[in-house]
Structure formats: structure tokens, C-alpha cells
Amino acid sequence: MQPQFFNVINDELRGSEKTHAVTDPRTEEALWPCPIATTDDFQDAVTAAQEAFTTWSRTTVAERQELLVKLAKVLEDHAGELTEILARETGKSQILASIDVHASVSQCLYYSKTALEDEVQYEDENTRVVATHLPLGVVGAICPWNFPLILSNIKVVSSLITGNCVIVKPSPFTPYAVMKWVELSRGVLPPGVFQVLNGGADLGALMTLHPGIAKISFTGTIATGKRVMASCAKTLKKVTLELAGNDACIVCPDADLDKTVPSVASGGFFNAGQVCVASKRIYVHESIYDDFLSRLVKEVEGTYSIQEDHKAPSVFGPVSNKMQYDVVKGIIEDCKANGYNIVTGGGGDDKTAAAASKGFWLAPTIVSKPPEDSMLVKEEQFGPILPVLSWSDEEDVIKRSNLSNAGLGASVYSTDLAQAERIARRLEAGSVWINQSERPNFGAFFSGMKDSGFGGEMGKQGLLSYAYTQCLHFAKK
Ligand code: NAD
């Protein structure tokens, strides 16, 4: 039987006259009809959330923590169903899709044990100042398509544990798993606390403008992030922006290549490169460049091949939608037009796999030493194509790694930990991974420098942006 999907407003399931269907990235067939929320649906959701907030905001942290455990149980109990839906809409293999579901369980459980606490900020014989944290109101969560559940859920659990209500707007490219998750969670929380609406840029823009929404937490491109911030300014909404990166990965001459090569391959090609903190520019020391490149090509051709069956245990997959497929194809075409050295992949004559007959597949592609100002190096590719550049001077590679317009993540590989740390501390990125590929940890604050973001999420620090800090000044005499 075909699954059905609904907007969830005040714990009720709502269809819509207007629907759309996502294109399955593996088969290019239309998936299931999905209702598009109307302006009235949106207004009803805001009203329900505002009403719910009056009592939900006064629940205790302990009560909310207990409910997060119940939400985790819903995810766990329906992991099979959610994994299957998520695999179909994103094009991910079952293994990759199940990571999205199970990491969301972990996020719920992490915040069921983590909360903001009151803190004495000052004390002398006359006064005692205690900082406490109050919820903001209704949070609008605007989400991207590459990890639909994890990236929505982090906004949901951060909102809930701090006493906010939340309306989630998934990406129209991947609405299904998030909508099903909110539907399945009905009854766990009071009506109006956790709602979902399906829609595109229009609905997102409405959310950023509505005076009944206190905060927007947005994850997506830099261009949209700038629009979101400008729009939120009109009502002085609180805003968190998690935006694009163009991560440098520095491989030092003493790196242990047996470990480094698979790790760099995973950094670049996990989920076909559709990871905000994927390794997107590889800088390898000139003295080991040739050895590294030939090993990387071998690793990538062996591990990241096209597997049309989504049950195959692969962490590689198609590009998730036609829009992004065209972007990545455009970058490959630019490399070809400029005569850059494509050492594997690149379509047509690729040696890694036969091109799949249907779907948004692109074989993993590696380009050796394209110019620093090429499209592939300058722009976020967000797909399975990786430039491998070389360096010989530490100052120079740090300078080239640090961009003026992005600073999300970076990685450094070296057996000399002092050198690795010295380089890491000079990289202008919100997170730097040493001797490992970029995997955000839900216990660690995650944020972008420069155009890669505004504020951040995750870890205890991430909760601060979901709360007002109020200082209570007690007279002691
Ligand atoms: P996008 O900016 O196109 O869309 C993101 C969301 O914004 C979608 O839900 C979309 O419907 C909505 N939207 C579009 N226009 C809007 C508007 N004017 N006002 C309000 N909402 C609007 O991004 P995408 O293509 O879905 O996501 C991919 C991008 O996200 C990549 O650049 C990637 O690096 C980035 N990303 C960043 C992080 C991070 O944590 N920093 C994580 C994942 C992805």
C-alpha cells in the first residue's frame, strides 16, 4: 500500500487541494503525493503553537526530558518504515538512510540528559545574580534535503528541551520522512507543540515574516540564508543560520596514508559528497602527492561505485535531485572545457562504474591540480567531484585553506599531532577534525565562520540560541 502524508496542525492530519510528488533520485519515477500547506494552514499552525506555548513553556526540564525519551522511542519503533521512506526520497542506500534515523534517536537521547541550568553569574556581600533561561516562543525550523531527519530533528529537540514550540518545514525535495515522523509522534506532546508543514520557498518566506514566530533556525545555502536574515530583521526575530562550507583538508608529509586515504575518500564521497562539511578541497604535500593520488583513486574506485540496488551496503548514492545533479554536471563540464586533469570518473570514459541507466547518478570524480581559481575549487560542489591540490609550505597552505567567504569545517592529517594542532588552530573554520573525516558530533557546538553561518547549534552551547537568558538580581541585605 502507498504511504500517505499529511501536514500536522494541532495534532490533526490535514491534506491539501494542492500536492506535489518528489522524483525518486534512483529511478526518476514520481513518488507519493504530498500536500502543500496553504497560507491558512500556516496561520492555524502558528495560532495552535502560540496557544500551546502558554502551558508548554511552564513545563519543567525534567518533564520535557522524559518526553524526548518517548520521542526517541517513536523513532526507534518506526525505524524500518522511516528508513525506507527516507531512502526513497533522498536516493540513499538503506544503510545511509538508517544512519539518519538512528542519529536522530541519539539526538533525542542526548538532549534528554542535557539542558541549560541556572548559573550564579556574580555574588558579593550585597547581591547575588542568577542567570536563568526562558523559552523564546514558537520556533520555525527551515530545513535542507541532504540529511532530512537529523537536520530537522536537531532543531526540534533543541526547541523542545528549552520549552519552545516548533513548526518544521522540510525541504520540498525531501518532505516525506519528516512528515511521517511528526505524524507518528502525535499524542506524545501536547497539541500544537510539534507541527509540520510542507512547502517551498514561499512558505519559508512566510515563516520568516510572521510576527508570531520568535525564532527561525535555518539550514541551507548561503544565498537563501542571507534572504532569511534580511526577512527576519523586519520583526527582529532571533535567527540561527547553518550554511554552506567549502572545507579544506590538509594532508601533511608524515600522514599515515594507510589510514588517511580511506578517511579522505570518506570525507569527500560519503553520501556522494552531499554533506555540508564534506572535504571539498584536498591539499596534499608535494612530497607524497603522486603516491597519495594513486592510492586515493584506487580507494574511491573500489569503495564508492554506483550500486543501483538501494539495499546494497553502500555509502555512495545518486545526487539527491535534478537541481543539484545539474549543478555538479556543470562543474564537471567546466573541468572538461578547461582541460583539467580528470583522473577518475567524469562521465563517459569513467573507469569506476558503468553509468546507471536511470537516476541522478554521477560516478565519483577526482580532478588533479585544477587551478585555485577554478569553479571546482572556488565553489561548494556538494556532489561527488573532488579537486586534489598540492602544497609545500605550511604558511601557504593555511592561507589557501582559509577563504574569505566560507568557514564551516576543515580537516588535517599528520602523525605529528603538534603540527596538526598548530595548523588546525589557524584554520578559520567552526569545526576542525584531526586525523578523521568530518562528522559532526551532537554533543559538540557546530557553527560556521564568515558566510558559513550565524550562530550555531548542537551541544549544550547550541541551546543558548533557543532561550532568552534572564538575570535575577537578589539583594542580600
Ligand atoms: P536551500 O537554501 O535551497 O533551501 C533550504 C530551505 O530553505 C528549504 O526548506 C527551502 O524550501 C527553504 N527556502 C528557500 N527559499 C527560502 C526563502 N526565501 N525563505 C525561507 N526559506 C526558503 O538549501 P538546500 O539546497 O536545501 O541545502 C543544501 C545547502 O545546505 C548546501 O549549501 C549545504 O552546504 C547546506 N547545508 C548546511 C548545513 C550546516 O549545518 N551548515 C547542513 C546541511 C546543509
Tens of pLDDT, residue by residue over 141-182, are: 999 999 999 999 999 999 999 999 999 999 999 999 999 999
- Residue 471 annotated to the active site: no
Asked if 318 and 269 touch (Cβ cutoff 8 Å), the reply is: no
Nearest-atom index, ligand 1, CA of 207: 20
d(CA 386, CA 407): 18
Q: Other CB atoms closer than 10 Å to residue 233's CB: what's the count? A: 11
* C-alpha closest to that of 412 among 399, 425, 400, 403: 425
% residues pLDDT > 90 (the chain): 95
Does 310 score more than 90 pLDDT?
no
Residues in the chain: 477
Residue 349 confidence (pLDDT):
42
- Ligand 1 in contact with 241 (CB < 6 A)? no
Q: Is the CB of 252 under 6 A from ligand 1?
A: no
* Of residues 208, 229, 223, the one with CA closest to residue 140: 208
pLDDT tens, position by position, 23-52: 999 999 999 999 999 999 999 999 999 999
**pLDDT for position 347:** 75
Residue matched to cell numbers 500547506 = 37
Q: Is pLDDT of 60 > 90?
A: yes
303: number of Cβ within 10 Å: 16
Can you tell me the mean pLDDT for 78-82? 98
Instruction: Report pLDDT for 353.
Output: 47
The pTM assigned to this predicted structure is: 0.97
Output the pLDDT for position 291: 98
Ligand 1 pocket: which of 167, 173, 221, 441 to mutate (most atoms within 8 A of CB): 221
Does 380 contact ligand 1 (Cβ within 6 A)?
yes
- Cβ density class 349-373: b for 16+ within 10 Å, e for less: ebebbeebeebbbbbbbbbbbbeee
Q: Which residue has the higher pLDDT, 306 or 28?
A: 28
Compute the distance between CA of residue 362 and CA of residue 366 in angstroms, rounded to an integer.
Answer: 12
Mark whether 242 is an active-site residue. Answer: yes
Structure confidence at residue 308 (pLDDT) = 85
The confidence score (pLDDT) of residue 352 equals 43
Of 216, 248, 259, 255, nearest in space to 380 by CA: 248
Average pLDDT, the chain: 96
If you average pLDDT over residues 394-410, what whole number do you get?
A: 98
pLDDT band at 309 (very low <50, low <70, confident <90, very high): confident
Residues 6+ apart with CB under 8 A from 425: 432
Query: pLDDT tens-digit profile of 326-374?
Result: 999 999 999 999 999 999 999 754 434 445 678 999 999 999 999 999 9
Strand pairing category for 409-413 and 431-434: parallel
- The three cell numbers of residue 210 are 510572521
- For residue 474, CA distances in Å to 98, 132, 133, 469, 470 come to 50, 13, 16, 16, 13
- Whether residue 430 has its Cβ less than 6 Å from ligand 1: no
pLDDT value for 305: 87
> Which member of 242, 299, 380, 438 is catalytic?
242
**Residue 180 and residue 170: Cα distance in Å, rounded?**
11
Strand order, beta sheet including 238-242: 12-14, 7-9, 194-196, 165-169, 138-142, 215-219, 238-242, 453-454
pLDDT over 70 at 426, yes or no: yes
Please give the average per-residue pLDDT across 292-301, as a whole number. 98
pLDDT at residue 413, as a whole number: 98
Task: Return the DSSP state at 334.
Answer: H
> Binning pLDDT at 50, 70 and 90, where does residue 307 land?
confident
Residue 357 pLDDT: 73
Judging by DSSP bridges, how do beta strands 165-169 and 138-142 pair with one another? parallel
Question: DSSP assignment, residue 328?
Answer: H
**Ligand 1 atom 16: residue of nearest CA:** 201
Could you say which of 232, 252, 276, 335 is catalytic?
276
**In order of start, what are the domains of the chain with their CATH numbers?**
7-243+452-475 (3.40.605.10), 248-441 (3.40.309.10)
By alpha-carbon position, which residue is closest to atom 4 of ligand 1?
220
How far, in Å, CA of 206 to CA of 197, rounded? 12
Pocket test for ligand 1, best of 276, 277, 447, 449 (most atoms within 8 A of CB): 276
Q: What percent of the chain has pLDDT over 70?
A: 98
Does ligand 1 have an atom closer than 6 angstroms to the CB of 364?
no
